[in-house]
Amino acid sequence: MFPRSKERGVRLFATAGNPERRETRVSAALCDWAVRYIERFDFALVPLPHATKAPAHEGWNRDENLIKTAARAWQHWLAHPHDGMGVCLSPSRLVSLDVDYPEGARAVLAAEGIDLDALMASTSTIIGRAPLLEFKAPAAALGRKSVVWPPRAGGEKPVTVIELRAGRVQDVLPPSIHPDTHQPYTWHTPPKDGFPPLPEELHELWLDFDAFKHRARNRCPWASPEPEPARRPEPRRVPRAPGTVSVIATFNAAHDPVAILEAHGYQRAGRQRWKSPNGHGGGGVVQLESGK
């Protein structure tokens, strides 16, 4: 899938029946994958214990513990030939859509105008037991969000439908071994020239997640819909005296809201949304009215 890495840490002399040389071969193959991820996509890699999804070492997502060079990749996977690997998202400038329950995810996203299968065909997608779609992260930071449906029956667990993943979390990469299927993770749609930007429709859902989460929850086929959240009453407006000038209208006519936001460090995060430089996750978002 990827061209061979520019570095080879060992020469391989494969001999049938020689377990030490076979292990060296496996280890070198993992090193090749790791080096390709680093050289081609500038990934910050995370070692994973064999057939697990979670890092075992404390502080794994701190910069000093991430593997970002070919030399460190060779050093680690030659010494630990059975380890898997993951990518730490924000240092690698990625966000992802984790499709935990594909049937539910198709229904939830279709209702928002997003075709999951078409998106998978055009987006770098990893398959373990379910799809994991990788995107180039937008400029404004995003938080980790989940759509969860209620349990199907008493005593069962809630059903996670999708997870929008961002920040210093990690996604498992091929060719790591999946803990349930005991098969390697694979690229359903391999990355070619980098990763596609996060689609605007998906970005909008991320930014307005509370409203999306409510709509998605009410598409659960085995649970009763929840009522719409109560709206706060509109504050009572005192009518302006005849002949007086609106201070707000005068200010708006004399100033450009976009220029004001840019001057204070806000960044565009959608068609009409601007993200505060001090906001975290989905907080600190300003939405402008159409036309301004």
pLDDT at 3: 42
pLDDT at 14: 34
pLDDT for 33-74, tens place per residue? 999 999 999 999 999 999 999 999 999 999 999 999 999 999
Q: How far are the Cα atoms of 11, 27, 74, 169 from residue 7, in angstroms, in the given order? A: 11, 14, 9, 28
> Cα–Cα–Cα angle for 214, 197, 263, nearest 5°?
85
Helices (H), the chain: 19-41, 70-79, 102-110, 116-122, 200-207, 209-217, 247-254, 257-263
Rg for the chain (alpha carbons), in Å?
24
Q: Using omega within 30 degrees of 0 as the cis cutoff, is the peptide bond preceding 277 cis?
A: no
pLDDT at 5: 42
* Segments of the chain assigned to CATH 3.30.2250: 89-225
Q: Are 30 and 81 contacting, i.e. CB atoms less than 8 angstroms apart?
A: yes
User: How many CB atoms are located within 10 Å of the residue 100 CB?
Assistant: 18
Buried b (16+ CB within 10 A) or exposed e, 127-164: bbeebbbbbebbebbbeebebbbeeeeeeeeebbbbbb
Tell me which DSSP letter residue 12 carries. -
Most distant CA atoms of the chain, gap in Å: 97
pLDDT at 184: 97
Q: Which of 44, 65, 64 is nearest to 56 (CA)?
A: 65
Chain center to CA of 74? 27
Distance in angstroms (rounded) separating the CA atoms of residues 261 and 252: 13
pLDDT at 95: 99
| Yes or no: domain 89-225 corresponds to CATH 3.10.450 | no
pLDDT at 280: 52
pLDDT at 7: 40
- Indicate the pTM of the whole model: 0.74
pLDDT in tens, the chain (292 residues): 554 444 443 333 233 445 555 566 667 899 999 999 999 999 999 999 999 999 999 999 999 999 999 999 999 999 999 999 999 999 999 999 999 999 999 999 999 999 999 999 999 999 999 999 999 999 999 999 999 999 999 999 999 999 999 999 999 999 999 999 999 999 999 998 899 999 999 999 999 999 999 999 999 999 999 998 776 666 776 676 777 777 777 787 788 888 888 878 787 776 677 777 766 545 566 666 654 5
Q: Are 178 and 190 contacting, i.e. CB atoms less than 8 angstroms apart?
A: no
